[in-house]
Amino acid sequence: MIGIIGAMEDEVTLLRSAMENTGTNTVGPFELVTGKLEGKDVVLLRCGIGKVNAAIGCAMLIDRCKPSLVINTGSAGGIDPSLTFGDVIISDGLIYHDVDVTGFNYEPGQLPGQPPVFIVPEDLIAMAETTMDELKREGILPQTVNHVRGLIGSGDVFMYQPERIASVLKLFPKMRAVEMEGAAIAHACALFKVPSLIIRGLSDIAGVESPVTSTEYLPMAAKNSAELVRRIIRKY
């Protein structure tokens, strides 16, 4: 079984509507939707926004459903100036950009007892990259949609103030996008020894216009991410 997690309704609705033979199981505030997607057994969860929701939801999904892989899909804000709305970032590592225990000699973003970066398995990244090429070649996604691998930062902050973005980039200069759940999901998966793949479509370029553009471009970002997730599930 493959677990799929998105934070918001817009990020999971296309995947849910494509599922067959669905059933639901409510656990506390969460609804697990099981069924078939691209011929594979999957369980879909809308976890809600933020790191705590993501971690609790992911841990519950793993405990209840025992997936062999967890895919986190959704939207993010681009930090890399070479990226634009709708581009897809395939994470090769995830950090908490709002964690600071450096006073005790930990690295920026590192929690005690945890690695400074949650690394995504190379075989999953490579498969996602190859799959993006296929989707563009087949016309399912436009050729204009760029896809890159890179570091994603997660935090309980909507990043739009230039001074905050600049301060975070000083600590994490290789960070290419920001969002609010991915590192928590990768963290939970690491604790349970389940591989994770974090995929994001860009709904905004982090800055003063982000509150407007993130709403406008969210459907496109979510669709591009969901199309990639569907094809990965077919191939996995």
Angle at 167 between CA 156 and CA 104, to 5 degrees: 75
Are 75 and 61 contacting, i.e. CB atoms less than 8 angstroms apart? no
Are 179 and 78 contacting, i.e. CB atoms less than 8 angstroms apart? no
Catalytic residue among 11, 92, 179, 227: 11
The response to whether 127 counts as a known ligand-binding position is no
- Cα(204)–Cα(31) distance, rounded to whole angstroms? 28
Q: Which residues pair with 96 in a beta bridge?
A: 154
The response to whether 113 counts as a known ligand-binding position is no
Active-site residue 41, yes or no? no
Are 152 and 177 contacting, i.e. CB atoms less than 8 angstroms apart? yes
Catalytic residue among 87, 98, 179, 204: 204
DSSP for 114-147 reads S-SSEEPPHHHHHHHHHHHHHHHHTTSS-TT--E
Active-site residue 11, yes or no? yes
The response to whether 1 counts as a known ligand-binding position is no
The response to whether 180 counts as a known ligand-binding position is yes
DSSP for 63-86 reads HHH--SEEEE--EEEE-STT--TT
Question: What positions carry a catalytic annotation?
Answer: 11, 204
Q: Which residues are annotated as a binding site for substrate?
A: 77, 159, 180-181
Q: Which residues are annotated as a binding site?
A: 77, 159, 180-181
